[in-house]
Amino acid sequence: MKKQSDDKHFLILARSHIGDFIWTTSAVAIIKKRNPASKITIIAPKSLSDFINNNPIFDNHLYYNSSLLGSYKKLVRYFYKVFFILKTSFYFLFKKADFCFLFSPEPFLTKAALFFNVKKFIFPKYECCGCNNRSIESIILNKYINKRRLIEIDTPQDADNIHCSEIYQTLVRSFFNITDIGLPVITPSSMTDKINSLIETSKSKKIALCFQGAKGSNFILPPRHSESIIAQISKTLPAAFFIVGGKEQTEYGDNLISKLLMKDKDIEIKNLSGKTSLLELKSLLGSMDLLISVDTGIAHIAATQRINSITIFGKVSPNYAMPMSPNNVSIYSKTECSPCLYGRVFEGKDCAYKEPFCLQSVSISNIVNASIKLLK
C-alpha cells in the first residue's frame, strides 16, 4: 500500500470496552505519527469521553449512549439507533471520511457505518481465534458495500498467543506498509485535592484492588480469595488498601471490608468504587505502589501509568490481553476450559459455574508472593 497523504480524514470505529479502547489508541498513535496533518475522528460511547476529550491523537469525536443501545426495551433501542445513524450520517455528509478503520467494533457500529460517507473501509479479514471464520466486519461490509471500497487485511489469528494490540496495529502497518510500533495514548490528568483526600494514609504502601470485572460480568474473584490476599499482605507489609471500580462494584467492596474488619480491625481499607471519574481514577492509580486486579479495564488504565500491577487471568490468555506495561505481572489460572470454553463455543453464554472455575483455581500464594516482591 502506498503511503497516503497527510491531510486525509480517518474514521476510527473501536470496541466499547476500556481495555480494547486503550489497545486501539496504540494503533491510532501510529496513524497520527505517520500522518500528523491528518484529521482523526472516533466514534465511541460517551462513557469513554474522559479518555478522548483533549486526547492528542483525536481531532474529532462522536459519542453514542451505550445505555440506550443496550436498553431492554426494543422500541427504545430501535429509535435510538435510527436517531444515531441519521445524526452521524449528516455529520459525514459534510465531512467525508477518506478511510475508516474498524478495530473489531460492536456489530451495530459496523452496520451503522454503511450509511456514512466513507471512501474506503479497512478491516480484518478473519476472526482472531484461528478458526478461519470471516470477521463480522467482513461479512457485513462484503454483503452491502462495493468491493472496490473494501480493504481486507490478514491479521494474526492465534488469539491464545498474539496480543490484541498487535492485531490492531497490524491493520495499520499493513495498510501503510510500515513497521512502526505504537503505545497507548489517553488524555493527560493530574492529582486533585479530592484524590489526595481519598487516599490519605499514614501507611508507607498504597495498594489498589479490583476483584470484580466489568458491569454485567460474573468474572469476580471469590470473596474468600480476596480476603486471604489482603489479610496475608497486611501481615507482612505496612499497607493501606483501596478498592476501586464502578458503582456496580460498591456492594462487593462493602461486604469484603465488613468481613475483613470482623477478623482484624487494624486493616486499613477503603471502598472507593464509584467515587471517581475515569480521569480521576487514572490519577489515583498513578499514585499507587501496586494494583492487584482481575482482567478488567482498570488493569489497562494502570498500565498507562507504568505502576506495578498484578493482573489475574482466567477466561483468556494473558498473551492476548495482558496490560501493555513492563511493570505488570500476570497470574494465569490455566484451567481446562480456558481460554473460555463458554464464551468461545456457546457464544453469549456466561460461565456455567456460579463462581468462574478459572478464578476458583487461582493461586493465592502466587499473588501474595508477587505482591510482596514488587513492594519490597
- Dump pLDDT digits (tens) for 287-322: 999 999 999 999 999 999 999 999 999 888 899 999
Region 174-190: mean pLDDT is 94
Query: For the residues of 254-302, what is the DSSP string, one character each?
Result: HHHHHHHHHH-TT-EEEE-TTSS-HHHHHHHHHT-SEEEEESSHHHHHH
The percentage of residues in the chain with a pLDDT greater than 90, rounded to a whole number, is 76
**What confidence score (pLDDT) does residue 353 get?**
77
Give the pLDDT confidence score for residue 206 in this predicted structure. 98
Computed over every residue of the chain, the mean pLDDT equals 91
Q: Which grid cell sits at 325?
A: 506495561
pLDDT, tens digit (0-9, with 9 covering 90-100), for 1-54:
445 556 899 999 998 899 999 999 999 999 999 999 999 999 999 999 999 999
Distance CA 160, CA 14 (A): 21
Q: Hey, what long-range contacts does 198-201 have (CB within 8 A, 24 or more apart)?
A: 198/242, 198/270, 198/272, 198/275, 198/276, 198/284, 199/240, 199/242, 199/272, 199/284, 199/287, 199/288, 201/240, 201/268
| pLDDT for residue 346 | 58
Residue 341 has pLDDT above 80, yes or no: no
Residues 220-276: tens digit of each pLDDT: 899 999 999 999 999 999 999 999 999 999 999 999 999 999 999 999 999 999 999
Q: What is the pLDDT of residue 4?
A: 53
Give the confidence band of 355 by pLDDT, cuts at 50, 70, 90: confident
Residues of the chain with CATH 3.40.50.2000: 9-176, 193-375
Q: How many CB atoms lie within 10 A of CB 114?
A: 15
Residue 301 vs residue 344, higher pLDDT: 301
pLDDT at residue 229, rounded to an integer: 97
User: What are 339's strand-pairing partners?
Assistant: none
Q: Domain 193-375: which topology?
A: Rossmann fold (3.40.50)
Looking at residue 185, the DSSP 8-state letter turns out to be -
The more confidently predicted of residues 136 and 1 is 136
For position 121, what pLDDT does the model report?
97
Residue 159 pLDDT exceeds 60: yes
Q: What pLDDT, on a 0 to 100 scale, did the predictor assign at position 1?
A: 46
CATH code, 9-176? 3.40.50.2000
Q: Is the pLDDT of residue 192 over 50?
A: yes
DSSP code of 220? B
Mean pLDDT of 129-143: 82
The mean per-residue pLDDT over the stretch 333-360 comes to 75
